[in-house]
Amino acid sequence: MLGERIAALRKKRGLSQYELAERLGFSRGKLANYEQGTRQPDYDTLNKIATFFEVTTDFLLGRSDETNKQIVPYQLLEETSEIDEKLSEALRNLTDEHKDLLLRLIQNIKE
């Protein structure tokens, strides 16, 4: 059940196994093992997957068909990565003019 749900959520988002594994911070092989049911994630990994897809761990494990997950503010803070914190701090220290220049640079990189 777990593997089927992870695969279905991944496909619904249009992600390959490689893309999802990269976003979650582990190998494609590890993700493939989860999806095939040959390996079970530990609690932290299961929680990371649930948070990424915004579903409950109970949904992933097949204990519930309810996918909604309400994230409380402290959970959001815990999920903030170190790079996000560094970016936020750097942005706070920029002038509006520099923020505008940075925004244009980011938009050019995305293109």
Is 6 or 68 the better-scoring residue by pLDDT?
6
- Taking the C-alpha atoms of residue 19 and residue 28, their distance in angstroms, rounded to an integer, is 8
Query: Do 21 and 6 touch, CB atoms closer than 8 A?
Result: no
94: confidence class by pLDDT, cuts 50, 70, 90: confident
**Which residue bears the tokens 């190998």?**
27
**Which residue bears the tokens 């990565």?**
81
pTM over 0.85: no
pLDDT of residue 33: 93
- Taking the C-alpha atoms of residue 78 and residue 47, their distance in angstroms, rounded to an integer, is 12
CATH 3.90.79.10 for the 2-61 domain, yes or no:
no
pLDDT of residue 34: 92
Q: pLDDT tens for residues 46-80? A: 999 998 888 888 888 888 776 665 545 555 555 55
Q: pLDDT tens for residues 9-36? A: 989 889 899 999 998 888 999 999 999 9
Q: pLDDT tens for residues 99-108? A: 888 888 888 8
Q: What type of residue sits at position 89?
A: E
pLDDT, averaged across the chain: 82
Q: What does the DSSP 8-state code read for residue 24?
A: H
